[in-house]
Structure 1
Amino acid sequence: MVNIDLSGKTALVTGGTGQLGRVMVRTLAECGANVVIHYNSNEEKALELRDEIRSLGRHSAIVRADITKKEAIFAMKSEAEGELGPVDIVIANAVVQYAWTSVLEQAPEDYVSQFESCVMQSVYLAKAFAPGMIERSWGRIIGINTECAMQNDPTQSAYVAGKRGMDGVYRVLAKEIGKHGITVNQVAPGWTISERDRENHTERSEGYESAVPLRRRGTDQEIANAVVFLASDLASFITGAFIPVNGGNVMPTI
């Protein structure tokens, strides 16, 4: 029987209170991991999730940090490991939100925010957590990318620029630290159904779904399932991968 068992591991999820992050947090805990929940402003949700994870018999802590700042990420590491010990699994899920528009109209600051929250967050997380993983000869670094990085559709430019830059960092990092038993991978969601959609009854989008080979939108749980798989020993020989979880809406080529 195939089983995902993360018992004895500690995971950190940046953007852990977000629509996708909260389901990753719950699923990691259900698979046995202790979980550090990063948040930026939604402390109420972070506390709710922490208590939910503890009710499952796991250890959990919350940490607030600006993931675009190196000092904040290193302080987050100290706080997280002070409460739960070494972090084995790092999931870079947080990203700055902004209003999308055309290249000609997009504010330059939006490109900066995407670079900082996609590329530099990934770099700072690696600098903070990879050395400990190297010492222990085990680790998982998982970035949440997007199908948009392959679509390159109008109004996506700042987001695509940030995520494609993130992709480059992850591919190089996978080659640099693989010899230490650390895998580095990316999950690229499509337009995903989340708790917000269920509350607002906005799960369906016939225009989008009609172009998806599986003819539906994915769910937040399906994204979390891919994350815990990559975090587990079932994926011990997968690294440097960019895995779309979008029903085939975009397909990497060889």
Structure 2
Amino acid sequence: MQIDLNGKTALITGATGDLGRVMARTLASCGADIVIHYHANEKKAAELQNEIRQLGKRAITVQGDVTKEADVLRMKETASAQLGHVDIVVANAVIQYEWTTVLEQPIGDYISQFESCVLQSVFLAKAFVPAMKEKKSGRFIGINTECAMQNFVNQSAYTAGKRGMDGVFRVLAKEVGEYQITVNQVAPGWTISDRDRDNGTEVSEGYSSTVPMKRRGTDQEIANAVAFLSSDLASFITGAFVPVNGGNVMPAI
């Protein structure tokens, strides 16, 4: 038994980011052709495209602002024209900002999180799910966060955006399930990425001490969960919120 995505095409938003790059490489290594979305980092997108092509898979880059419906529709048209039907959509992009208390957080940060978490999900669904319905097959995956369950201080804008995203995904899962489309979320904890490896910041004893597995997860472990949910092995899993954080948060029944 193995994860086989041959013949599939996957779009990853924010594919030039720390987690997105590893997701793109991982899905390509499982056989998928890749649509690499980027917002500003054209150079990194081109480098990633070359990497994936060296794996023997097709890859294109698409630029766009995922908080703008016109951009998402343009991305869909470009992907369809160059690679055909998009089977897997991974909503990974998110706007970064500085965290502070509810009383001090600028209102613009709440708006940006709503736009990049909730509206991105809606725009991607409107653009890509109709074709999945026609084909009666598809994978729609969102990258959420353990913060959505923790509700720690200074997390309000991020948590609000991701909890809103969670609502969209759960409803969408019920609306499109009859078409054999699965809709799931992966919720990373504080994850080790290339940035940590480059800076020597992989170890954080304060955070790891709260995690049952006593360590931080890696970008590859997040990508592995995405690959599984993208595959036929997860064909009867939908509406799931899957923490990939060593047990740091545990959804209750």
**TM norm. shorter chain > 0.5:** yes
- 1:103-152 residue CA offsets vs partner (Å, 9 max, x unmatched): 00000000000000000000000000000000111000000000000000
Q: Provide the residue aligned with 1:197 in structure 2.
A: 196
Give the Cα–Cα distance (whole angstroms) in 2 for the partners of residues 242 and 128 of structure 1: 23
Q: Provide the residue aligned with 1:145 in structure 2.
A: 144
* Cα shift at 1:90: 0.1
Q: Provide the residue aligned with 2:43 in structure 1.
A: 44
Q: Does 1:125 align with 2:163?
A: no
Give the Cα–Cα distance (whole angstroms) in 1 for the partners of residues 213 and 82 of structure 2: 43
Q: Provide the residue aligned with 1:170 in structure 2.
A: 169
Q: Name the amino acid aligned to 2:205.
A: E
Give the Cα–Cα distance (whole angstroms) in 2 for the partners of residues 238 and 205 of structure 1: 33
Q: Name the amino acid aligned to 1:178.
A: G
Structure 1: 4+ residue segments shifted above 6 A: none
Q: Name the amino acid aligned to 2:148.
A: A
Q: Provide the residue aligned with 2:234 in structure 1.
A: 235
Q: Provide the residue aligned with 2:60 in structure 1.
A: 61
Give the Cα–Cα distance (whole angstroms) in 1 for the partners of residues 47 and 79 of structure 2: 17
SS at match of 1:74: helix
Q: Provide the residue aligned with 1:18 in structure 2.
A: 17
SS at match of 1:28: helix
Q: Provide the residue aligned with 2:101 in structure 1.
A: 102
Give the Cα–Cα distance (whole angstroms) in 2 for the partners of residues 190 and 165 of structure 1: 18
Give the Cα–Cα distance (whole angstroms) in 2 for the partners of residues 85 and 22 of structure 1: 22
SS at match of 2:18: coil
SS at match of 1:20: helix
Count of aligned pairs between the two proteins: 253
SS at match of 1:86: coil
* Cα shift at 1:83: 1.0
* Cα shift at 1:82: 1.1
Q: Name the amino acid aligned to 2:144.
A: N
Q: Provide the residue aligned with 1:179 in structure 2.
A: 178
SS at match of 2:142: strand
Q: Provide the residue aligned with 1:84 in structure 2.
A: 83
Give the Cα–Cα distance (whole angstroms) in 2 for the partners of residues 181 and 238 of structure 1: 10
Give the Cα–Cα distance (whole angstroms) in 2 for the partners of residues 125 and 186 of structure 1: 14
* Cα shift at 1:81: 1.2
SS at match of 1:125: helix
TM-score, scaled relative to structure 1: 0.99
Q: Name the amino acid aligned to 2:99.
A: W
Q: Name the amino acid aligned to 1:152.
A: N
Matches within 5 A, 1:199-218: 199-218=198-217
Give the Cα–Cα distance (whole angstroms) in 1 for the partners of residues 131 and 125 of structure 2: 10
Identity %: 70
* Cα shift at 1:80: 1.2
- 1:144-182 residue CA offsets vs partner (Å, 9 max, x unmatched): 000000000000000000000000000000000000010
* Cα shift at 1:244: 0.2
